[in-house]
Amino acid sequence: MDFTYDSEQNDLREAVAALLARAYGDSEVRRKVTKNDPGFDEKVWTQLAEMGLLGLPFAEEHGGMGAGPVEVAIVAEEIGRVLAPEPFIEAVVLAGGLVDAVGTDAQKGELLGALAGGTSVPAFAHAEIGARWTASASAVTATEAGGSWTLSGVKEPVPHGARADVLVVSAALPGGGTGLFVVNGDASGLNRTGYRNIDGTRSAKVRFEGTPATQLGTGGDQTDAIERALAVARIAYAHESVGAMDTALRTTTEYLKTRKQFGVTLNKFQALNFRAADMYVSLELARSIALWASVVQLSDGDVVTAADRARLLTSRTGRHIGKDAIQLHGGIGVTAEYKVGHYTARLTAIDHLLGDGDFAADRLAAKVGSYPTVDPLGAPYA
């Protein structure tokens, strides 16, 4: 057992933190960037590509860096720390991760190479109105005719669906099951309506009307691959949450030390300090379980259950820290002009993107009777 970062990992963290601090050290910059489409800074996206981060988890032969889940976790945490709006998890971990897991060698070379190079942003079009965080698709259906596939139906909300250069789409297969398809951004019969989310990022309604599509990989039911990709993305989001919670708490304690009321700084009030202490407890527990989930992934353990564990705790702690960060700031915490509320907004969005705490709790609850105790260092995690 070893939960310490090695020197290369520490170097990576330092480099990513420096790049993102230059870009978003001033929270006003993020506010401006997220006001205009595509909701992130294309120049920063290029810088992430130049640093190799957009190909971080992919094999070198596909233009990647061949790094592992812990490196991805480090980047996600640093993104959360400054709320960088670039779609690292959505494009690299989720859409890219699916291509890497399911795609043919040719697809990996083409799609991952373009992603890693910063020339093409992929997105995963999966959510459907009426469905709640399932691994399957039903509202978009795939049809085969003469060896070619077309898709019909609506996906929404699709994170960064309007900006994406290429879409990985889940669709119900004619014979049952859920397949994965690749749709180019300029395909015919593709209609996209983008909008701004509560956290400043973007989503879209994506309508397919007999849209030509290519099977990702060799086709067939991909529900398991989707389940796994969602789990890996949940783990990455857990780290982004930890980074965001860390800054939310730090911002709050700084405020308590400087803001004066009744002639004294707020940290003279034990009622406020105690709430900050409880936020710290939540943060450290979340940090532990997020890191553990990444190491489970590294060990090729039960990544789906580990992700549910990380999601359950980061959902609960993210709400706790997000809400109390605003409360301890008072009215200014609710304004868009001060930074702390944006952290709460992002934590709220992450919480609902791929399944909330209750969703994860339900899945874990269904299994509690099947084993007496959990050994986080043993089977099925190690």
Q: How far is the CB of 97 from another protein (least distance, A)?
A: 19
Q: How far is the CB of 150 from another protein (least distance, A)?
A: 41
**Closer by beta carbon to another protein, 211 or else 297:** 297
**Closer by beta carbon to another protein, 170 or else 251:** 251
Residue 38 carries which side chain, given as an amino acid letter? P
Name the burial class of residue 47, with classes exposed (0-12), middle (13-18) and buried (19+) by CB atoms within 10 angstroms of its CB: middle
**Closer by beta carbon to another protein, 43 or else 367:** 367
- What lies within 8 Å, CB to CB, of 189 at 6+ separation is 150, 208, 209, 210, 211, 212
Q: Which long-range contacts (CB under 8 A, 24 or more apart) does 35-41 make?
A: 35/200, 37/162, 37/163, 37/194, 37/202, 38/160, 38/162, 38/163, 38/194, 38/202, 39/85, 39/160, 39/163, 39/196, 39/200, 39/201, 39/202, 40/84, 40/85, 40/86, 40/87, 40/201, 41/85, 41/86
**Closer by beta carbon to another protein, 170 or else 297:** 297
DSSP secondary structure letter of residue 173: -
Angle 216-218-224 (CA atoms, 0-180°, nearest 5)?
75
**Closer by beta carbon to another protein, 145 or else 366:** 366
**Closer by beta carbon to another protein, 166 or else 289:** 289
Which two three-digit tokens encode residue 330? 């008072």
**What kind and span of H or E run contains 183?**
strand 178-184
**Closer by beta carbon to another protein, 229 or else 283:** 283
**Closer by beta carbon to another protein, 109 or else 376:** 376
Q: How far is the CB of 216 from another protein (least distance, A)?
A: 30
Question: 321, 120, 312: which is closest to 231 by C-alpha?
Answer: 312
- What lies within 8 Å, CB to CB, of 261 at 6+ separation is none
Taking residue 122's Cβ as centre, other Cβ atoms within 10 Å add up to: 26
Q: How far is the CB of 372 from another protein (least distance, A)?
A: 4
Q: How far is the CB of 322 from another protein (least distance, A)?
A: 17
Angle between helices 69-82 and 7-24 (to 10 degrees): 30
Question: 298, 296, 326, 320: which is closest to 308 by C-alpha?
Answer: 296
Q: How far is the CB of 377 from another protein (least distance, A)?
A: 6
Q: How far is the CB of 363 from another protein (least distance, A)?
A: 9
Interface residues with another protein (CB under 8 A) are 1-6, 70, 249, 253, 256-257, 267, 270, 273-274, 276-278, 280-281, 284-286, 288-289, 291-292, 294-296, 298-299, 301, 309, 312-313, 316, 358, 361-362, 364-366, 368-369, 372-374, 376-378, 381-382
**Closer by beta carbon to another protein, 106 or else 368:** 368
Q: Which residue has the tokens 């940090």?
A: 287
Q: How far is the CB of 250 from another protein (least distance, A)?
A: 9
Q: How far is the CB of 23 from another protein (least distance, A)?
A: 28
Q: Which residue has the tokens 């259906």?
A: 141
Name the burial class of residue 263, with classes exposed (0-12), middle (13-18) and buried (19+) by CB atoms within 10 angstroms of its CB: exposed
